[in-house]
Amino acid sequence: MSSHNSTYNPTNPVEKWLDDRLPLVRFGKEHLLDYPTPKNLNYWWTGGAILTFMLGVQIVTGIVLAMHYTPQIGLAFDSVEHIRRDINGGRIIQATHAVGASMFFAAVYLHIFRGLYFGSYKAPREILWILGVIIFLLMMATAFMGYVLPWGQMSFWAAAVITNIFAAIPVVGDPILQLLRGGFAVDNPTLNRFFSLHYLLPFIIAAVVGLHIWALHVPGNNNPIGVEVKSERDTVPFHPFYTMKDFFAIVVFCIPFAWFVFYAPDILGHPDNYIQANPLVTPPHIVPEWYFLPFYAILRAIDFNFILDSKLLGVIFFGGSILILFFLPWLDTSKVRSGTFRPAFKWFYWVFVANFILLTWYGAQTPDMKIIGSFTVADTSKLSVLYYFGYFIVILPLLGRFEKPRPLPNSISEAVLPASATH
């Protein structure tokens, strides 16, 4: 499908001249307009367009904010307030950027879980998936550093706690810690380098998104039934069919986005970040932003020594919880892509989703909070960590061997047509 024939025929001499030298228009026509897309994609497949839109929103609002922000520990907090108070439309731009981070992660989680359900990571889309995991990692780094910039109490203490995680790595831990902080403690050099990197990383994300789309356009889209495109009958051109469908999805996505931006811009944040950073006062309860909570819960759940020190073990599980996604294409042994045709997989998948939500909730609680009887968050969250890793390491490899999938339709058209007869 990557080698579909180009239908671009430059008509006037200027277009011809350009096409012989830099076939930009041809490229755009092939990849943005004519790109053959399976005709059975549902709304879970609008995530890519929504995420591209969100990246754009974050870059544009971020560039405007950077025009007014001062990365210096004595001035950073007040400069963010200056943006909110004195810049024309500043409160809305700042709120869009802050809420935008949450909406970006909400969309990326839906996108990832879509891929997990429909087996979008399976051959021949392993590279596509791996690039996605890299984007996710870059997003986490960018969001974390961005959260530090307002230099509130949560900013400062999040920076202290998260950079400190690296100190647990043997031998290189301390040098890494000092490199991240630009010194022994979180201070002005930390803020400066975080600002610099926070401005840089989104453009690297944009580049990896380019690769991600390239890697998508080589094998073509996966689709809800997971059966590869067999003929032209199975596809529609990307434009106008999916451009308009994606556009519709983006507008709908903007409704809750605007709801938070205009009516409750701080509801997803923490009030402590309205207190200027103070290295001498530790907040009673340090919590990361909601989108880091599942991984934070995994980090905290490892509070015991097992061969290794608990601190290092926690870091291994914390890092491993994301790194394991890189190996997912080879851990899942089932040949069937779509969860729709995998009766047993479905159950494990939805338990995995519920477990992930539960981990999010655990991450926001204090570890000593009682759950059932005398069992605390620290105890029960270990079960969730076990299931999280068990899903990838035990369930998916074994399920492919023992599960009997339902019969697959012969082609996308065959799956689509009977249903459309009832329309």
Q: Which stretch binds another protein (CB under 8 A): 63-71, 183-191, 251-259, 295-303?
A: 251-259
Residue 85 to residues 81, 88, 274, 330, Cα–Cα distance (Å):
6, 8, 14, 52
Residue of 99, 78, 84, 246 lying closest to 151 (CA atoms): 78
Q: Is residue 120 classed exposed, middle or buried when 0-12, 13-18 and 19+ CB atoms within 10 A define those classes?
A: buried
Q: Is 406 in the site for another protein (CB under 8 A)?
A: no
Q: Is 241 in the site for another protein (CB under 8 A)?
A: yes
Residue of 3, 46, 38, 49 lying closest to 337 (CA atoms): 38
Residue of 246, 211, 210, 208 lying closest to 37 (CA atoms): 246
Q: Is 264 in the site for another protein (CB under 8 A)?
A: yes
Q: Are 368 and 378 in contact (CB under 8 A)?
A: yes
First-to-last C-alpha distance (Å) of the chain: 30
Least distance between another protein and beta carbon 377 (Å): 8
Find the binding residues for another protein in span 373-392 (CB under 8 A). 377
Least distance between another protein and beta carbon 155 (Å): 13
Q: Tokens representing 341?
A: 């045709």
Q: Which stretch binds another protein (CB under 8 A): 47-55, 192-200, 237-245, 310-318?
A: 237-245
Find the binding residues for another protein in span 317-356 (CB under 8 A). 340, 346, 350-351, 353-354
Q: Which stretch binds another protein (CB under 8 A): 49-57, 125-133, 139-147, 272-280?
A: 272-280
CB count within 10 Å of CB 307 equals 6
Q: SS3 of 254, please?
A: helix
Q: Is 81 in the site for another protein (CB under 8 A)?
A: yes
CA distance 201 to 147: 14
Q: SS3 of 100, please?
A: helix
Binding residues with another protein: total (CB under 8 A):
57
Torsion of CA 163, 167, 170, 172, to 10 degrees: 60
Q: Is 91 in the site for another protein (CB under 8 A)?
A: yes
CA distance 309 to 302: 10
Q: 3-state SS string over 28-63?
A: HHHHHHCCEEECCCCHHHHHHHHHHHHHHHHHHHHH
CB closer to another protein, 17 vs 350: 350
Q: Is 423 in the site for another protein (CB under 8 A)?
A: yes
Q: Are 290 and 360 in contact (CB under 8 A)?
A: yes
CB closer to another protein, 166 vs 238: 238
CB closer to another protein, 163 vs 365: 365
Residue of 103, 190, 90 lying closest to 149 (CA atoms): 190
Q: Is 151 in the site for another protein (CB under 8 A)?
A: no
Q: Is 117 in the site for another protein (CB under 8 A)?
A: yes
Q: Tokens representing 164?
A: 């400190």
Least distance between another protein and beta carbon 277 (Å): 12
Print the binding letters for residues 355-374 with another protein: x by CB under 8 A, - otherwise: --xx--x---xx--xxxx--
Which residue of 262, 343, 398, 410 would you call a contact of another protein, by CB under 8 A?
262
Q: Is residue 214 classed exposed, middle or buried when 0-12, 13-18 and 19+ CB atoms within 10 A define those classes?
A: middle
Q: Is 278 in the site for another protein (CB under 8 A)?
A: no
Least distance between another protein and beta carbon 262 (Å): 3
Least distance between another protein and beta carbon 106 (Å): 12
Task: Give the CA diameter of the chain.
Answer: 80
CB closer to another protein, 16 vs 406: 406
Q: Is 72 in the site for another protein (CB under 8 A)?
A: no
Print the binding letters for residues 164-193 with another protein: x by CB under 8 A, - otherwise: ------------------------------
Which residue of 85, 230, 335, 406 would you call a contact of another protein, by CB under 8 A?
85
Element (H, E) at 248: helix 243-263
CB closer to another protein, 42 vs 196: 42
Q: Are strands 235-237 and 375-376 parallel, antiparallel or unpaired?
A: unpaired
Which residue of 167, 275, 313, 344 would you call a contact of another protein, by CB under 8 A?
275
Calculate Rg over the CA atoms of the chain: 24
Which residue of 2, 11, 280, 284 would you call a contact of another protein, by CB under 8 A?
284
By residue count, the chain amounts to 423
Least distance between another protein and beta carbon 359 (Å): 10
- The site for another protein (CB under 8 A) is made up of 39, 42, 44, 78, 81, 84-85, 91-92, 95, 117, 224, 236, 240-241, 244-245, 247-248, 251-252, 254-255, 258-267, 271-272, 274-275, 284, 340, 346, 350-351, 353-354, 357-358, 361, 365-366, 369-372, 377, 416, 420, 423
